[in-house]
Amino acid sequence: MKGADLLIAHTTGMKRIIADRGYDANRLRSTLRSQNTIPVIPGRKNRKRKIRYDEKRYKDRWRVEAMFCRLKDFRRVATRYDKLARNYLSAVMLAAAVAYWL
C-alpha cells in the first residue's frame, strides 16, 4: 500500500485503476474517488459490506499479467543485462516481437 500511495500521488487524469484484492483499502478508494478515478478493485472476502466493481474489466486484467510473464521468459529481459535504457528497450521490443509473432 505504501507504493500505491506514492504512485497515485504522482498521477493525474486516470479514468480507472485496476488492482487485485491486496489493494482493497477504504483509504485508497477514497483517494482515487477524490481524483475522479473509478477503482476496479474487488473487496476482500472478509468485508462485511460487499464492494461493487466492474467484473468484466477486472477479468481482462490477466492479459497484462500474462504479457509480463511471457516477456520474463526471455532471460535478457528478466535479468536486465543491458546498462543503457535504450538497449534494454530494444531487447524488450525484440522479445515482444518473438513472443507474439510465433
**Does 47 lie in the same domain as 19?**
yes
**Does 55 lie in the same domain as 11?**
yes
pLDDT of residue 15: 93
C-alpha triplet 93, 99, 100: angle, nearest 5°: 90
State yes or no: pLDDT of 2 exceeds 90.
Answer: no
The whole-model pTM stands at 0.68
Residue 56 Rama label (left phi>0; alpha psi -120 to 50; beta)? alpha
pLDDT of residue 88: 92
**Does 70 lie in the same domain as 53?**
no
Range of the domain at 79: 62-101
pLDDT tens digit sequence for 4-60:
888 888 888 899 999 988 899 999 999 999 999 999 999 998 998 899 999 899 988
pLDDT tens digit sequence for 61-92:
888 888 888 888 999 888 888 889 999 999 99
**Does 66 lie in the same domain as 53?**
no
**Does 50 lie in the same domain as 11?**
yes
**Does 55 lie in the same domain as 7?**
yes
Burial of 39 (0-12, 13-18, 19+ CB in 10 A): buried
**Does 97 lie in the same domain as 78?**
yes
Q: How many domains does the chain have?
A: 2
